[in-house]
Amino acid sequence: LWPEPLVPKPSLAHGLARGLRPLVGPAAASRLGRRLLLSSAVAHPQRVPAAASARLARAYAGATGFVAVNRAMRAGRFEALDRIPGPLTLIWPEHDRLVNRPRRLPGNVRNVVLQDAGHIPFWDVPDAVAAVLREASA
């Protein structure tokens, strides 16, 4: 949804996460550790339970397809939103630090901004995410 393909860029965070995997459990046990582990993806890391924080960080670190998906995602752009039949709802977390909202979208796209949410909004505002999903699927 970005205006031009993005330049190739290795994910420093993914490489760091892979190297620090042994420290994930102890880090996730504290509020400060959860902030360090999740602050780029979650607006309120303190709301994520320690065990879930550790699982999330380990899954990210161990994602074997991450490099290939990151490379493919950055190599092009999706331009066919106006050809998707039926209603289309895009959810944009207010505090997403990883994805910027496009400046313009086709008229068939409904935009919903989730207030007080980060890139993974399910932990920040689960009820708001559920409400948008229920409404969009009705």
Give residue 86's identity as a one-letter amino acid code: G
- What pLDDT is recorded for position 37? 92
- The encoded tokens of residue 90 equal 């895009």
Query: Which distant-in-sequence residues (6+ apart) come within 8 Å of 25 by Cβ?
Result: 54
Where helices occur in 2-116 by DSSP H, the ranges are: 12-19, 24-28, 31-38, 50-61, 66-75
pTM, full prediction: 0.81
Q: Is the separation of the CB atoms in 53 and 45 below 8 Å?
A: yes
Distance CA 98, CA 47 (A): 20
Q: Tens place of pLDDT for every residue, the chain, 138 residues? A: 777 777 777 788 888 888 889 999 999 999 999 999 999 999 999 999 999 999 999 999 999 998 898 888 888 888 888 888 888 899 999 999 888 888 888 888 999 999 999 999 999 999 999 999 999 888
Distance CA 7, CA 9 (A): 6
Spatial CA neighbour of 47 closest among 133, 131, 132, 116: 116
- What pLDDT is recorded for position 28? 95
- What pLDDT is recorded for position 36? 92
Task: State how far Cα 136 lies from the chain centre.
Answer: 20
How many other CB atoms are found less than 10 A from the CB of residue 65?
8
- What pLDDT is recorded for position 121? 95
Q: Is the separation of the CB atoms in 14 and 41 below 8 Å?
A: no
